[in-house]
Chain A
Amino acid sequence: MSDKPKFAMYWAASCGGCEIAVLNIHEKILDVDANFDVVFWPVAMDAKYKDVEAMEDGSILLTLFNGGIRNDENEHIAKLLRRKSKILVAFGSCANEGCIPGLANLSSTNEIFDTYYETVSTDNPAHIRPQYRYQMPEGEIQIPVMYPVLKTLDQVVDVDYYMPGCPPESHQIAAVIDLVVQVLQGKAELPPKGTVIGAGGSTVCDECNRKRNVKTITSFKRIFGQPIDPELCLLEQGIPCNGIATRSGCNARCPTAGAQCIGCYGPAEGVVDYGARLITGFASVIESKDPDQIDAILDGIPDPTGQFYRFNLAGSLLKAGKPAWKRNGGNGNK
């Protein structure tokens, strides 16, 4: 064992994109290796949970935790890593605010299982569902118990820093690693606890180079099916771009490339509820005073919940849809 500070990274309910983003920092990854002893990183090296359990409390200097808390295994590891780590970073949108896995909070567990096990693409004539515990001749086997809703990391454990993005941009990850290395060398100080790191404090619009005028929207459009002005603000063209409420830090990649911002960097500084802020913004730019006409304009946003909470549902004020927390709906067993 070297005496270098220890580093860990874990994935809970996530897609693995965050790990790829970390590897995407190219030769900077050598800085990680030069300055840290990687003790636990399931996607990159072999390690067992019991190895982590055997470590001394607080012995890991830095843990990047990505993924939401979907089941009791996720929660167990979140609590374990919290105990073993000095600095725990909620890394990526899932750990921060639920992200795409958090959209499952619109449905009850039964509805999710119905879709997974009973739809036309699944051949399951006996209607078999997973058992959390099952008695085999050799003894009982168990799988993790799925929770009725996905939670964000800080709804389960205390979090030191937040690093948003789906996934966090590689240049931002490199900057954070640089900072931590400098702190280790005594050349810099850590920001106060609870700070959002690896992102800006403003909105995506602030970094977007498109031209902006007064916004007056008489209809919302999808991004396809009509010509898009390459210079003009997308929202002004009636494309529901979420940049107005989304935290900066990505260099406005999507709007620059001609696609609307979908909000992966989460709420901008000071925003309590991301969707509420978007509702405020969109409602302000619609040019109509007639209730029927407003209704017709709003039909241009076919899925407002998905539009406003694509990344943020689990981290929003409402946190979940009614079927999820009432635990109703769906067929369950047939």
Chain B
Amino acid sequence: MNNEQFEPTIIGFTCNWCSYRAADLAGTARMKYPPNIRLIRLMCSGRLDPTFVFKALTGGADGVMITGCHPGECHYLEQNYKALRRFHLIRRTLKGLGVEPERVKLVWASAAEGVKFTNEVKNFVEEIRALGPLNWGGVGGNGHPIAAPITEEVPA
């Protein structure tokens, strides 16, 4: 391992009505936050299919941040509660697969919370940096089927 600092790749899912607006506010106000996060806008955190999270992790992401409106403030009434329940199940499933559940994080941010949003991204980048690269399948995240066959002997 060289001395260069590990730069995690993070996929962030934002909702159209709150957390994307928060990120937008952070942009217009020229707040600084690390460039490690790649944001994808959904109409609602309730649109977040867990498939997206698994696809991100197998495709080279080291962490996934799911964001949405605060509880009780969802534009579609209560879909963010679905995201909350999915988030819990995703974490439990990842744990069963031996993956650190902390690689998936849920953050609520209203359209006014640009500062909160940038702070959450900053913290999450540091948390993932501490966990190290995920390198799913050891293929550097190019999505190949994992684990080429080994032919070395297993020591007796």
Question: Could you list which residues of chain A lie within 8 angstroms of chain B, going by C-beta atoms?
Answer: 72, 75, 106, 109-110, 113, 127-133, 145-149, 151, 155, 272-273, 275-277, 279-280, 282-284, 286, 288-289, 291, 294-295, 298, 301, 303-306, 308-309, 316-327, 332-333
Q: Is the CB of A273 within 8 A of B51?
A: yes
How far, in whole Å, are A63 and B156 apart by their CA atoms in the complex? 37
Chain A residues whose CB sits within 8 angstroms of the CB of B156 once the complex forms: 127-131, 333
25 contacts between A and B (CB under 8 A): A75-B149, A106-B98, A132-B151, A133-B153, A146-B154, A273-B51, A275-B93, A279-B50, A283-B88, A289-B71, A289-B78, A289-B81, A294-B88, A298-B88, A298-B89, A304-B89, A304-B92, A306-B96, A316-B54, A318-B57, A318-B97, A319-B137, A320-B146, A324-B147, A325-B137
How far, in whole Å, are A106 and B98 apart by their CA atoms in the complex? 8
How far, in whole Å, are A291 and B81 apart by their CA atoms in the complex? 9
Number of A-B residue pairs at CB separation under 8 A: 134
Map CB proximity to A onto B60-97 as digits: 1 under 8 Å, 0 otherwise. 00000000000100000010011011101110110111
How far, in whole Å, are A147 and B84 apart by their CA atoms in the complex? 37
Inter-chain pairs besides A106-B97, A317-B58, A324-B147, 6 sampled, C-beta below 8 Å: A75-B149, A277-B51, A288-B85, A305-B96, A305-B97, A306-B96
Cβ contact of B50, chosen from A145, A280, A303, A325, cutoff 8 A: A280
Q: Is the CB of A291 within 8 A of B96?
A: no
Whole-angstrom distance between the Cβ of B8 and the nearest chain A Cβ: 17
How many B residues, CB 8 Å from partner? Answer: 38
Task: In the A-B complex, list the 3 residue pairs whose CB atoms are closest, starting with the nearest.
Answer: A305-B96, A322-B98, A283-B85
Q: Is the CB of B146 within 8 A of A294?
A: no
Q: Is the CB of A303 within 8 A of B96?
A: yes
Chain B residues whose CB sits within 8 angstroms of the CB of A273 once the complex forms: 50-51, 54-55
Question: Could you list which residues of chain B lie within 8 angstroms of chain A, going by C-beta atoms?
Answer: 49-51, 53-55, 57-58, 71, 78, 81-82, 84-86, 88-90, 92-93, 95-99, 136-138, 145-147, 149-151, 153-156
How far, in whole Å, are A318 and B49 apart by their CA atoms in the complex? 15
Q: Is the CB of B51 within 8 A of A110?
A: no
Whole-angstrom distance between the Cβ of B148 and the nearest chain A Cβ: 9
Q: Is the CB of A326 within 8 A of B138?
A: yes
How far, in whole Å, are A60 and B132 apart by their CA atoms in the complex? 50
How far, in whole Å, are A289 and B50 apart by their CA atoms in the complex? 19
Whole-angstrom distance between the Cβ of B58 and the nearest chain A Cβ: 5
Q: Nearest residue in B to A148 (C-beta to C-beta)?
A: B147
Q: Nearest residue in B to A275 (C-beta to C-beta)?
A: B93
How far, in whole Å, are A130 and B154 apart by their CA atoms in the complex? 8
Q: Is the CB of A149 within 8 A of B51?
A: no
- B53, B82, B97 pick with most chain A CB within 10 angstroms: B97
Q: Is the CB of B54 within 8 A of A276?
A: yes
How far, in whole Å, are A147 and B136 apart by their CA atoms in the complex? 17
Q: Nearest residue in A to B100 (C-beta to C-beta)?
A: A322
